[in-house]
Amino acid sequence: MSKKKSSLGRQKIPIEKIPKKSHLQVTFSKRRSGLFKKASELCTLCGVEITIVVFSPADKAFSFGHPEVESIIDRYLVLNPPHESISSTQQLVEAHRNANVRDLNMQLTQLLNHLEMEKKRGEELDHVRKVRQRQFWWESSTDDLGFHELIQLKASIEELKKNLAKHVSKIIMMDQTNMDSRIIGVNSNNGLLNRYDHAFDNNKSDAAAFNVAPTLPPPNNNAYYMGFRHGYL
C-alpha cells in the first residue's frame, strides 16, 4: 500500500520580518488587501468612518478611507490641533499627500509618454500616406492636390486630348482611304461594263446592216445553241 503524502496543513507563521524580499512583497500585498477588506466590513457593519494609510517596503503609500481619506484626516486635525506631541501625525498626512502626488505624476508621465509614442506613430503613418500619394497622386481627389500637382494634371489631360485627337484623325483617314479604294474598284468595273455594252451595241449595228444576228459567243457548248439559227446560215 502506498503511503499517503503527509501534509503540513496550515501552520502558524512566526511574526517576524520576512528575510526574502520577493516573499515579503507578496505577503504585504495579501495582508494589505485583507486589512482593507476588514476595514470595509467594519464600516458596513458599524457605520463608522475609517482611514488607513500603509507604506509598502518600497516606500509607496496605500490608503483606504470611508467616506474619504482627506476629509477624515482634516476632521482629526480640527478636533486635535497639532502641537509638538502630535507633529508626527501631520508628517504622516503630508507624506500621504505627497505619495498621492507622486503617483499622479507617474501616471501623468506614463500618459504623456504614450501620447508622444502615438504622435510619432501618427506622423510616420502620415509620411507613408504622403509618399504613396506622391507616387500615385493622379488617383487622389482634386481637393487633396496642391497647386503644382493641379498644373501637372491639367497638362497631362491636355496632352491626352491631343493624342486622342491624333488617333481619331488617323482612324478617319484610314477609313476614308478604304472607302476611296472601294469606290475606285466599283468605277473600274462600271467602265468595263460600259465598254462591253458599247462593243455589244456596235456589234448589233453591224449585224443589222447585213441582216444577221450579232456574233456573240454561245454561253456553252450545248447543241441547242449551236443549231441552225437565224444569222448563222
* 48 Cβ neighbours under 8 A, 6+ residues apart: 42, 66
Do 113 and 63 share a structural domain? no
Do 70 and 27 share a structural domain? yes
Do 108 and 60 share a structural domain? no
> By mean pLDDT, which of 98-102, 103-107, 110-114, 196-200 is the weakest?
196-200
Pick the more confident residue, 40 or 22.
40
Res 127 pLDDT > 60: yes
Res 77 pLDDT > 70: yes
Out of 54, 77, 100, pick the residue that ends a domain. Answer: 77
Q: How confident is the model at residue 197 (pLDDT cuts 50, 70, 90)?
A: low
In angstroms, the CA 67 to CA 44 distance is: 11
Q: Which domain holds residue 64?
A: 19-77
Do 119 and 164 share a structural domain? no
Domains in the chain, number: 3
Do 60 and 28 share a structural domain? yes
Do 159 and 122 share a structural domain? no
Q: Grid coordinates in use for 180?
A: 476611296
Res 53 pLDDT > 80: yes
> By mean pLDDT, which of 17-26, 99-108, 132-141, 209-218 is the weakest?
209-218
Pick the more confident residue, 87 or 149.
149
Do 99 and 124 share a structural domain? yes
Do 92 and 71 share a structural domain? no
In angstroms, the CA 32 to CA 211 distance is: 147
Could you tell me if residue 9 is inside a domain? no
Could you tell me if residue 60 is inside a domain? yes
> By mean pLDDT, which of 38-52, 54-68, 150-164, 192-206 is the weakest?
192-206
Could you tell me if residue 200 is inside a domain? no
Residue 69's CATH number: 3.40.1810.10
**Highest-confidence range of 124-138, 180-194, 219-233, by mean pLDDT?**
124-138
Number of alpha helices (DSSP H) and beta strands (DSSP E) in the chain: 4, 2
> By mean pLDDT, which of 39-48, 98-107, 176-185 is the weakest?
176-185
Pick the more confident residue, 141 or 72.
72
Q: Please write the tens of the pLDDT for every residue from 210-232.
A: 444 444 455 444 444 444 444 44
In angstroms, the CA 206 to CA 202 distance is: 6
- pLDDT score for 68: 85
Could you tell me if residue 221 is inside a domain? no
Do 126 and 151 share a structural domain? no
Three-class DSSP category at 157: helix
Could you tell me if residue 212 is inside a domain? no
Tell me what percent of the residues of the chain surpass a pLDDT of 70. 61
Task: Tell the residue number behind the cell numbers 482634386, with chain if given.
Answer: 142
- pLDDT score for 198: 57
Could you tell me if residue 204 is inside a domain? no
What mean pLDDT value characterizes the chain? 72
* 231 Cβ neighbours under 8 A, 6+ residues apart: 207, 212, 213, 214, 215
CB 32 within 8 A of CB 18: no
User: Is the entire prediction scored with pTM above 0.75?
Assistant: no
Do 149 and 112 share a structural domain? no
Q: How confident is the model at residue 5 (pLDDT cuts 50, 70, 90)?
A: low
Could you tell me if residue 33 is inside a domain? yes
